[in-house]
Structure 1
Amino acid sequence: MPMHNGFIPREGFKGDTVLKIIRNTALNPAVILPLLLLARYTKKGQDLAILHPTAHSRIKTLLALGVIKWINTYFSRGVLNNWVKDKYDWSREIVLITGGPGVHYFKCDITSPKTIASVAHEIRARVGEPTVLINNAGVVQGRSLLDASERDVRFTFDVNTLAHYWIVREFLPAIVRANHGMVVTVASIAAWITVPNMVDYAASKAAAQSFHEGLAAELATRYSAPRVRTVLVNQGFTRTALFTGYHNDSPFLMPALDPATVAEAIVRQVLSGTSNQLILPSFAHTLPVLAALPHWYQNRLRTKNQTIMQDFRGRKVVEDVDKFYDDKEREADARTGGLDPGASTVLVEQEK
């Protein structure tokens, strides 16, 4: 499917479109600087600056803000990429994605380190050593703290958090040795704010984000692999079967995302060969600031959004979590005589 290159996104004219217009005009030094130069060096511009001093002052403020934004972006990109460049040969790179089919499809319990190791051996034999890891698999239960069973919570963390550890531990050594590759962590804006019936999901995504941030720091300081890229994705509500029944009470500023919008953003970033943090939609950039706001406001926001998951009826990756873990325990007992401490599961279908 071709990439969407239109000015208006798939979601329609929303807050993101307004912010895009502002970024491309009012906060774009390439647009504002010529206006100030005209005001300074042309007779007509000088006359207008004298007649409209307030507007002239505000244009200078916009230029300053645009330059600050450009400098901030420059240094952020440099730091995220450790100030080193790397090249990707996409005819030779091997991308591994959890939670979705590809050219090669492997069924794997991503919650089980032993199963991952076994499937990893098969992947290396059939395809080669992966150079790009995309931890995309995720589940959501949509139950309150007391309604969720122990296994519901365990399954959420097994897939949304711990699987990231096991996948990276299995494939990262080869990436570090080559000092080349990329790890993509698909988290969520729920890493910054949780609401009723999303406690386990939000906690697991916050943990995944912390894992990602620590991984990036260790690559630079512990493994001497500054060219290994890391990409963190914090996406909002996406229109998939996983979130059926999710109530979106802010469709203009926080619109429901088309799955292709999120996928394209990730693909574009991977193809750029650089580290970054993707936040979708753009208004979600305000969410990390919540932690710095007064507690009365934070609490009000969490309780006000209690209707978001009230009618949730999203698709279950595993319908019967108890049976899932019972089967795993029986398999472990059969292999080890009951001595196995336990393992968990991710789903990647066989090649079609």
Structure 2
Amino acid sequence: MPNRILPREGFTADVIGSILRQTVFDPVKTFLTILLFQYAPPNARYLPRHRETVLKWLRIAFALGVIRRVNTFLGRRAINRGISDEYDWPREIIVVTGGSNGFGKEQVLMLAKRARSKIAILDVMPPDYVLPGGVRFFKCDITSSDAIAAAATDIRREFGGDPTILINNAGIIYARPILENTDREIQKMFEVNTLSQYKLLHQFLPAIVRRNHGMIVTVASQGGNCTTPGMTAYCASKAASINLHEGLASELVTRYNAPRVRTVLVTPAFAKTFVTRDLIPEDSFLSPLLEPETVAEAVVDQVLKAESGYVGVSATANWFTFNLRSMPLWYQTGLRDRLDRTVQAPGKRHSWVKRDE
């Protein structure tokens, strides 16, 4: 991962959150600071002027930091079922849907470099970049069970085995109000964003379950947690994929006795990809417009941990969308209404849109 001071999107709320997590809400650092202030000589020059007040706030920060650490530990242990698993990355076979451009392209390039795994791209369009070693493109309409079965046969023959990691990355959007979406547009969004994942699981999951080893990654959207006016059908399709992820995670344990199979959910905010061609996406301090590399990096980092996880990109905006339904109705309603301004037709083609549909 590149060593940089600021993220690609610049100074955002996520930067402040990261600093606070690594300083004030790091219980180890806070505890050492408390000891330093508590037992320092009264005339020590580094003591704050109002030591007791500072100590009170430091104790609160320490308590919050401990709660956060414990909560994170319990969450990771729960979703990983208290069991670890080993991955031999050069021998793993990874399938990436929609890997010819956008998020998928960057994921493929990063995985090829960092994991050196065997990677199969499933897409209806050929890649717009030179494929690294170990990467193969298989033309496939992922909305067709027959096409998926044919591609799976080719993958097994090419790589000599069943895929162990499936990254459901492909997605499509027609950003229009409910009455302006055609039947075909709505059907296509659900076919690509949701139904295709069921078909892919039917093809690749049985081998993963038999081995009790592998990973299913679902690249959804923060729109799946917070419906945005003007793209209701798209948000509904992503909400369905989030529910699929959650149900799959439980069924792997309760129905299939495969607790070592990892499940990863990724919910990005708006990003500079082809899918945002029809709208003016949110780009603010709380929810910056993401670079495709930022989303891909979050996916790859989590995959290489070999752990189940929930990755919100960007983190601050994700906190609001994830927790929206627990907030007062007046706030929920106001936030959804405010988001309408982001789904407006652009006056001209975005610079990051390099191709036509």
Task: Tell me which interval the TM-score lies in, with the shorter structure as reference length.
Answer: 0.7 to 0.9
- From 4, 15, 40, give the equivalent of 1:42: 40
Aligned-partner residue type, residue 92 of structure 1: R
- CA separation of 1:222/1:151 partners in 2, compared to 1, >3 Å: closer, same or farther? same
CA-to-partner distance for each residue in 1:32-68, whole Å, 9 max, x for gaps?
Answer: 1111112333324999589432211000000000011
C-alpha root-mean-square deviation of aligned residues, in Å?
Answer: 2.1
Q: Distance in 1 between matches of 2:254 and 2:355?
A: 37
More off after superposition, 286-295 vs 157-166: 286-295
Structure ID, larger Rg: 1
CA-to-partner distance for each residue in 1:319-347, whole Å, 9 max, x for gaps?
Answer: 4xxxxxxxxxxxxxxxxxxxxxxxxxxxx
Q: Distance in 2 between matches of 1:45 and 1:311?
A: 64
Aligned partners of 2:283 and 2:289 also within 8 Å: no
CA shift, 1:297, in A, is: 2.4
Q: Do residues 291 (structure 1) and 322 (structure 2) align?
A: no
Aligned partners of 2:229 and 2:343 also within 8 Å: yes
Cross-structure match for 1:106: 138
Pairing 1:105-254 to 2, within 5 Å after superposition: 105-127=137-159, 128-244=161-277, 246-254=279-287
CA shift, 1:171, in A, is: 0.4
Q: Do residues 257 (structure 1) and 255 (structure 2) align?
A: no
Q: Do residues 307 (structure 1) and 324 (structure 2) align?
A: no
Aligned length: 317
Cross-structure match for 2:125: none
Partner SS for 2:179:
coil
Stretches of 4+ moved more than 6 A in 1? 313-318
CA shift, 1:318, in A, is: 8.9
Aligned-partner residue type, residue 291 of structure 1: R
Aligned partners of 1:161 and 1:205 also within 8 Å: yes
Pairing 1:56-67 to 2, within 5 Å after superposition: 56-67=55-66
Cross-structure match for 1:20: 18
Pairing 1:326-341 to 2, within 5 Å after superposition: none
- CA separation of 1:183/1:44 partners in 2, compared to 1, >3 Å: closer, same or farther? farther
Partner SS for 2:137:
coil
Identical pairs, percent: 44
CA shift, 1:113, in A, is: 1.4
Q: Distance in 1 between matches of 2:196 and 2:66?
A: 41
Aligned partners of 1:187 and 1:233 also within 8 Å: yes
Aligned partners of 2:175 and 2:278 also within 8 Å: no
Cross-structure match for 1:74: 73
Structure 2: gaps (5+ residues):
101-120, 122-134
Normalization by structure 1: what TM-score? Answer: 0.85
Q: Distance in 2 between matches of 1:160 and 1:317?
A: 20
- CA separation of 1:95/1:246 partners in 2, compared to 1, >3 Å: closer, same or farther? same
Structure 1: gaps (5+ residues):
320-352
Aligned-partner residue type, residue 51 of structure 2: H
- Structure number with higher relative contact order (C-alpha < 8 Å, ≥ 6 residues apart): 1
CA shift, 1:249, in A, is: 4.7
